[in-house]
Amino acid sequence: MRTFMLFLCCVATLALFSQELEVECNSSVFLDLEYKDSIPLYDSPNGKIIDYLKHDWENEDVLGFDINKKFKSMLYITVHNWNEEEKHGWVYLNGHFGVYSRAYQGNLKLYKKPDYESGVACIIEEYDPEMYVVIDCKADWLKVKRVLHGKTYIGWMPPEMQCPNPYTTCS
């Protein structure tokens, strides 16, 4: 009986670690303004390509996205642009999505986990007007990466510090 219980515990633990759950997200981002190529939009995680997304520079239409959820390395998004209807689908979290910082006076605090109680991972002391690359999401927090003056900063950006508008500041 003891061996059987140990076996069940091992199987349950293995199942938990081998299965990545879907994570709810509630943030907005934009496609890197310097990215000139297109990205595929999928109907399901690792499914069929249903469209290709690209900035429309001719009409000055930059792509923005609402992130609804994440599954493994893919995001379920709602695509926004001025010239077309909304689109929904899955994209790979590929280093081409970003936000700006709203810490216009500097001292942007990035946290260790997506909550204030986790503690500060790092502080970017000066205002940085460049894009912060989104590498993860959970609820309305974004995990971002930024290289500034040769130093790499990684941490969770709180919702009130995120500016997903590539056209203007979010003040």
What would the pLDDT profile of 114-164 be if each residue is shown by its tens digit? 999 999 999 999 999 999 999 999 999 999 999 999 999 999 999 999 999
Query: How are the residues of the chain apportioned to helix, strand and coil, as percentages rounded to the nearest 5?
Result: 15, 45, 40
Residue 57 has a pLDDT of 86
Average pLDDT (98-122) is 96
For the segment 144-157, what is each residue's pLDDT rounded down to a tens digit? 999 999 999 999 99
- Write down the domain spans for the chain: 23-163
Which tokens sit at 114? 């997506």
Residues 5, 73: contact at Cβ < 8 Å? no
- Region 99-110: what's the mean pLDDT? 95
Question: 6-10, 54-58, 82-86, 152-156: lowest mean pLDDT where?
Answer: 6-10
What average pLDDT is seen over the chain? Answer: 87
* Residue 62 predicted with pLDDT over 80: yes
23 and 70 in contact (C-beta within 8 Å)? yes
- Please say whether the beta carbons of 12 and 18 come within 8 A: no
